[in-house]
Amino acid sequence: MKPYVIRPATLDDIPALVDIENRSFDIDRLSRRNFRHILSKGHATTLIADLEGLPMGYVMVLYNRGISMARLYSVAVLPEARGQGIGLALANAAEDATIENGCAYLRLEVHPNNQASKELFVKLGYQQFGIYTDYYEDHADALRFEKALTEDQPPLLAKVPYYQQTLEFTCGPACLMMAMAVLDDSLDFSRHLELRLWRESTSIYMTSGHGGCGPFGLALAAFHRGFDAEVYVSRSDKLFVDSVRSEEKKEVIKLVNEDFLREMRAKRLPLHYRRLATRDLEEKLKAGGIPIVLISSYKIYKEKFPHWVVVTGLDERFIYVHDPYVDVELGKSITVCVNMPIARKDFERMARYGKSALRAAIILYKKD
C-alpha cells in the first residue's frame, strides 16, 4: 500500500470533496455550496487523506461555541481506497483535532445500514447512547454514538428524556416537560402541552415577539400538575424588565410577576433569594431533584437572549445539560443537544442574564 498523508482541506479541494461525497453516499449528500461554507465560515475541521496528491477520503468535525463537545459530521472514503485503513486514520485524526480544539467528547450519527461505520466506531471505543428517529432522507433512524476523549470519572447523569422546543420562545416549557417526564414516566410529550405550559407561565413580553417564561410561572405550572418545585432567584423584582424598553411593557411584566409571587406564597412553594451555585447541583440531583437553569445564550449562540436548559448531571470538570434548542443552521442536531458538557467555569458565567446579572433556577421533585 502506498503511503498517504492526512492534511487540512482547502477551498481548492472542493471538487474532490464533492466527488468523494457523491461516490460514497446515495442520500444526505453535502453539496459544493455546503463544503464552501464550512471551509470558509464554519467552526469546523475538515481533513483529507491524500495519496500522491489525490484525495482518497475526508473527515469533518463540527464544533459548538461554549460547550466541550464536537460532532463528527461526516467521514467518507472512495470505494477503490477502502480496506486500507484510511477510514480508521481519518477517525483518529478527527479525535486528535477535537482534543486540540478543547473538546472532551465526540459524537456522531450512523445510518443503521452502514455496517462498516458501526464496526469502525465500536472498534474505536464509541458507545451507542440513543436513536434519533426519522433522521435521514430515506426516513431511517440515526444511531447516536459518543466517545469520551479524556479519562475523567463517569458523570452523575439523570436519565432525562429529550424534547426539542418547536418555537423560539418555548425553551422554558420544553425544559419543564423534560423534567416532569423524569419524575412521571406516564407523561406524554406533545405540542399541545408545550403551548399550554407556555400560556400558563409566560411573562407576556420580551424584547420583541412573543413573551418568554419566568421561574415563578414555570414553577406554578409544574405545581398545578402534581410536582413539588422550589425556586432560586438572585432578586425578587424586575425579572426580565431589562429586556424591554417600553414603560407599559415593564409595568405588565411587573404585574404578572407580582401575581405569580402571590400564588407561590399561597401555595407555599419554597422561594430562595440567592443564586444556586454549581456546587449545589450535585446535592439537588442526588436528592431526586431535576434542576432547570436560566442561562444567557451568548456564549453558545452569540445572541443575547434568556434561555432555559435542564441540568442532567455533572462531574469534576463539566455540567451536563439538555438544550431544547437545536440550531440546524449551525449544523447542530439532537445528538449535540443531549447531555451537552459545559465546563464548570463557563457554566458559572452563562448562568446569569441581562444587565442585572439575573440568576434563576427551578428544582422539580416528585410530590412528597
pLDDT of residue 248: 82
Are residues 275 and 162 located together in one domain of the fold?
Answer: yes
Task: Specify whether 135 is located in the same domain as 241.
Answer: no
How far apart are alpha carbons 200 and 205 in whole angstroms?
14
In this predicted structure, what is the pLDDT of residue 327? 82
Whether residues 192 and 296 share a domain: the answer is yes
Distance CA 176, CA 142 (A): 26
> How confident is the model at residue 205, as a pLDDT?
62
Q: Are both 138 and 52 inside the same structural domain?
A: yes
Q: What is the pLDDT of residue 3?
A: 75
The pLDDT score that the predictor gives to residue 333 is 79
User: Using an 8 Å Cβ cutoff, are 91 and 58 in contact?
Assistant: no
User: Does pTM top 0.85 for this prediction?
Assistant: no
Task: Report residue 338: phi and psi, to 5°.
Answer: -90, 130
Listing DSSP states for 280-294 in one string gives: HHHHHHHTT-EEEEE
- The reply to whether 293 and 207 lie within a common domain is yes
- 171 Cβ partners below 8 Å, 6+ apart? 165, 212, 213, 307, 308, 309, 324, 325
Domain enclosing residue 113, as ranges: 5-151
Over its length of 368 residues, how does the chain's per-residue pLDDT go in tens digits? 567 899 999 999 999 999 999 999 988 899 999 999 999 988 899 999 998 889 999 999 999 888 889 999 999 999 999 988 999 999 999 999 999 998 989 999 999 999 989 999 999 999 998 888 888 899 999 999 999 887 766 677 788 999 999 999 999 999 999 999 999 999 999 999 999 999 999 877 655 667 788 999 999 999 999 999 999 998 766 666 666 677 888 888 888 888 999 999 999 999 999 988 888 998 999 999 999 999 988 777 777 788 999 999 998 889 999 999 998 776 677 888 899 999 898 999 899 887 778 899 999 999 87
Counting beta carbons within 10 angstroms of the beta carbon of residue 188, is it exposed (0 to 12), middle (13 to 18) or buried (19 or more)? exposed
pLDDT for res 247: 82
Looking at 107, 122, 151, the residue that finishes a domain is 151
Write the CATH number for 213.
3.90.70.10
User: Is residue 332 located within the same domain as residue 185?
Assistant: yes
User: How many Å separate Cα 225 from the centre of its chain?
Assistant: 26
Considering 151, 186, 217, which residue would you say is the last residue of a domain? 151
Does 116 share its domain with 167?
no
pLDDT for 2: 60
Single-letter amino acid, residue 172: G
Q: Is the domain of 61 the same as that of 78?
A: yes
Residues 161 and 140 in one domain: no
What was the pLDDT predicted at 242?
67
The answer to whether 140 touches 113, Cβ cutoff 8 Å, is yes
Counting the structural domains of the chain, the total is: 2
Q: How many whole angstroms separate alpha carbon 211 and alpha carbon 102?
A: 36
CATH number, position 102: 3.40.630.30
Determine how many CB atoms are found less than 10 A away from the CB of residue 140: 16
Domain boundary among 106, 121, 151: 151
Residue 23 is classified by DSSP as H
- Same domain, yes or no: 220 and 335: yes
Quick one: which of 26, 14, 95 has its CA closest to 55?
A: 14
**Same domain as 343, residue 311:** yes
Whether 146 and 183 share a structural domain: no
